[in-house]
Amino acid sequence: MTAAAAQAHADAQAKAQAAAQAKDIAQNEAAQQNAAIMTERKRAAAAAAAAAAAQAQADAKKQAAIDAQKRADAEKAALLAAQADYPGKELGFKRIDPPPLPINAAKQAHLDALLESYKADKISSEEYHTQRAAILAAP
């Protein structure tokens, strides 16, 4: 092999190595670009997930507020309905609540039980009035 052929062979190998290095550099750059793109996609996906979670939380709070308002409105309507029908309403009078009974809670419980027995026809009206008088007369 002559010196010129050896030189040509060496040049060809150098060019092949340079081409291989250029290819490796290009592949590395492409891999870095792909990694950067994937990182950006992950970041965007995380931001979208966080935004969706925040929106879901805001929607849940809004729904809870709506439900609370509906409950309050229902309670108000029930209160108004309870107060809507009383004697004298058509004349424009306000409802007057009766004063509490001058008996203790134990007597009231006995009277309530006695009244339930009377309403269920377990005792006669005479028995009811006799027992009621006895309960009220007791100290």
pTM beyond cutoff 0.85: no
Chain-centre distance for alpha carbon 87 = 43
What pLDDT is attached to residue 124? 93
User: What confidence category does residue 126 fall into, taking pLDDT thresholds of 50, 70 and 90?
Assistant: very high
Which residue do the tokens 């290819």 mark?
A: 23
3-state secondary structure (DSSP) of residue 104: coil
Q: What is the mean pLDDT of residues 91-120?
A: 87
- Tell me the per-residue pLDDT of 23-63, one tens digit each, with 9 for 90 and over: 888 888 888 898 889 888 888 888 888 888 889 888 888 88
What pLDDT is attached to residue 11? 81
User: What confidence category does residue 82 fall into, taking pLDDT thresholds of 50, 70 and 90?
Assistant: low
Q: Is the pLDDT of residue 133 over 80?
A: yes
The residue that leads in pLDDT, 15 or 88, is: 15
Distance between CA 22 and CA 16 in Å, rounded?
10
- Tell me the per-residue pLDDT of 23-33, one tens digit each, with 9 for 90 and over: 888 888 888 89
Distance between CA 8 and CA 4 in Å, rounded?
6
Distance between CA 132 and CA 114 in Å, rounded?
7
Distance between CA 111 and CA 104 in Å, rounded?
11
